[in-house]
């Protein structure tokens, strides 16, 4: 079977929760075309029974079905109790399916030669023939998705309506003025599934990023990686020739797209992304550290996380102290195994210095996670712990030309539940994944290697929950 799905737009509905608050719901209008390579009666049976069962479950049951002969085939219309509708047309071995009746009619117009096919777009036809799946987002599509992304960012960043309104306006404008197209391909490789995402950005922005976001030449530091706990949920290594210049270039590009007031708001919003690690001044922080920046996460929400960086001089140490918030360095530090440590008044944030002159390390972030990082180094040095770090070292060293590499664990339980069933209840199935990010002449290239890939994530969305 071959399947093509097109999202033709988004429908927005506002649901009033209270007098002051409302919830926005987004529903994509889509059409799918499946070549089943089956007999017509088999395609009709599949549509009426299997597809109908799926729609009935999705629409919470008691869905009514109407069938007629139309458009040279068998036409189906499902109507839910709340008014939601879905449509399908079976012609020969082809199945047209969607929640937008007009989108099916547009597909039929293409088959009659009355409208152009997307196959004329080289971004579609030039995708690898060996790909299991592929996708493409046009410039117009980026503009529509940008609005949704802006609202999502706004809701997650602040509860203040004024801040939400500002972010909801700034983020879409930034994306629309920077990103031109997005493509995605999935291929099967020896290690599993490779998902490749190519984000095309405007030429002037691409040239700046290509010159400023470049990887450092040196290899992964074994002394720094010793601080990475092997049981972390995910670990990311950023490898930047000059972290401070890279940060400035990102702010420069973002500022090009706004007036002075909105550019200032964006700078404040950008700096707030460092606050989860206790960093108040990213400019000072990035100017004092070496090229390698590590982040460690013990939960998917980012609450149990820390940043690990190395530095060389006493001056850099003092600058790093000035770049953080919530830590009173006038107090005596606490001696922990192999580190000098300070904590915030609420004990939630920890700042730890360790290492010898010429290669000193700072671990900053969630207090418990920072402690796990210092314990990992202590174990590495004194408890024959080096073999467990070998896998980490090899994984990151072989991707030394990437700006960022993430290595972590992902739950695949929901995917397995859709495809079959778990042998034991409450079983947590974890598999490894690796994500690499690079900047190219045309934009951003991101590759993810995993067992199920993006297709597995989509399948998981079809689960019972």
Residue spans of the domains in the chain: they are 2-120, 214-249+259-402
Q: What is the reported pLDDT for 387?
A: 47
Beta bridge partners of 437: 404, 446
**Tokens 């770090």, residue located:** 389
* pLDDT single digits (tens) 188-220: 988 889 999 999 999 988 988 888 998 887 677
Q: What is the pLDDT of residue 326?
A: 80
Give the C-alpha separation, 363 to 342, whole Å: 11
Of 247, 180, 263, 266, nearest to 208 (Cα)?
A: 247
- Residue 336: which of 375, 369, 363, 309 has the closest Cα? 375
Helices (H), 158-299: 161-178, 203-212, 222-225, 243-256, 260-272, 282-288
Given CA atoms 377, 380, 386, 389 in this order, what sign does their dihedral have?
negative
Q: Please say whether the beta carbons of 113 and 99 come within 8 A.
A: no
At 25-45, the pLDDT tens digits run 788 899 999 999 999 999 999
Place of tokens 């071995």: 93
**CA 55 centroid distance within chain:** 28
Give the pLDDT score at 334. 86
Per-residue pLDDT of the chain (465 residues; tens, 9 = 90+): 899 999 988 888 777 666 666 677 788 899 999 999 999 999 999 999 999 999 998 898 889 999 999 999 999 999 999 899 999 999 999 999 999 999 999 999 999 999 988 888 887 777 777 788 889 999 999 998 988 888 887 777 667 677 677 777 888 888 888 899 999 999 998 888 999 999 999 998 898 888 899 888 767 777 788 888 888 899 999 999 999 999 988 888 877 766 666 666 666 666 667 877 788 899 999 999 999 999 999 987 777 999 999 998 889 999 999 999 888 888 888 887 778 899 988 889 999 998 755 578 999 999 999 999 888 887 766 554 444 455 666 777 766 788 999 988 876 666 666 666 656 555 556 678 899 999 988 999 999 999 888 888 887 776 655
Q: How far apart are CA 243 and CA 249, in angstroms?
A: 10
């Amino acid at each position: 079977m071959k399947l093509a799905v097109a999202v033709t737009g988004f429908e927005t509905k506002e649901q009033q929760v209270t007098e002051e608050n409302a919830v926005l719901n987004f529903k994509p209008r889509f059409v799918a075309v499946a070549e089943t390579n089956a007999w017509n009666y088999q395609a009709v049976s599949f549509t009426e029974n299997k597809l109908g069962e799926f729609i009935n479950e999705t629409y919470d049951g008691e869905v009514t079905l109407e069938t007629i002969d139309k458009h040279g085939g068998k036409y189906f219309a499902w109507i839910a109790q709340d008014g939601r509708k879905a449509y399908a047309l079976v012609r020969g071995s082809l199945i047209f399916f969607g929640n937008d009746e007009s989108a099916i009619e547009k597909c039929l117009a293409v088959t009659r030669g009355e409208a152009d096919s997307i196959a004329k777009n080289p971004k579609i036809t030039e995708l690898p023939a060996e790909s299991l799946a592929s996708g493409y987002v046009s410039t117009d599509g980026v503009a529509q998705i940008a609005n949704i992304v802006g609202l999502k960012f706004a809701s997650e960043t602040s509860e203040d309506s004024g801040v939400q309104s500002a972010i909801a306006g700034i983020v879409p404008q930034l994306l629309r003025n920077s990103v031109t197209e997005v493509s995605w391909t999935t291929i099967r490789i020896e290690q599993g599934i490779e998902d490749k995402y190519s984000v095309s950005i405007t030429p002037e922005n691409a040239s700046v990023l290509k010159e400023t976001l470049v990887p450092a030449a040196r290899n992964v530091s074994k002394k720094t990686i010793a601080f990475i706990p092997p049981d972390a949920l995910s670990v990311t290594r950023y490898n930047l020739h000059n972290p401070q210049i890279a940060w400035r270039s990102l702010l420069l590009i973002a500022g090009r797209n706004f007036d002075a007031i909105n550019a200032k708001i964006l700078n404040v919003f950008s700096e707030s992304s460092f606050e989860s690690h206790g960093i108040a001044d990213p400019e000072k922080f990035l100017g004092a550290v070496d090229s390698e920046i590590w982040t460690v996460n013990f939960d998917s929400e980012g609450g149990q996380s820390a940043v690990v960086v190395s530095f060389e001089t006493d001056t850099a140490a003092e600058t790093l102290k000035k770049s953080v918030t919530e830590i009173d360095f006038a107090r005596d530090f606490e001696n922990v195994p192999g580190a000098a440590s300070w904590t915030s008044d609420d004990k939630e944030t920890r700042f730890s210095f360790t290492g010898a002159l010429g290669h000193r390390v700072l671990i900053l972030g969630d207090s418990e996670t920072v402690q796990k990082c210092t314990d990992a180094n202590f174990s590495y040095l004194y408890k024959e712990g080096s073999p467990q770090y070998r896998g980490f070292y090899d994984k990151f060293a072989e991707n030394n030309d990437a700006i960022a590499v993430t290595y972590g664990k992902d739950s695949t339980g929901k995917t397995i539940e859709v495809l079959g069933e778990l042998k034991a209840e409450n079983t947590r199935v974890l598999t490894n994944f690796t994500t690499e990010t690079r900047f190219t002449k045309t934009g951003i290239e991101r590759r993810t290697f995993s067992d199920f890939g993006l297709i597995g994530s989509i399948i998981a969305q079809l689960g019972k929950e």
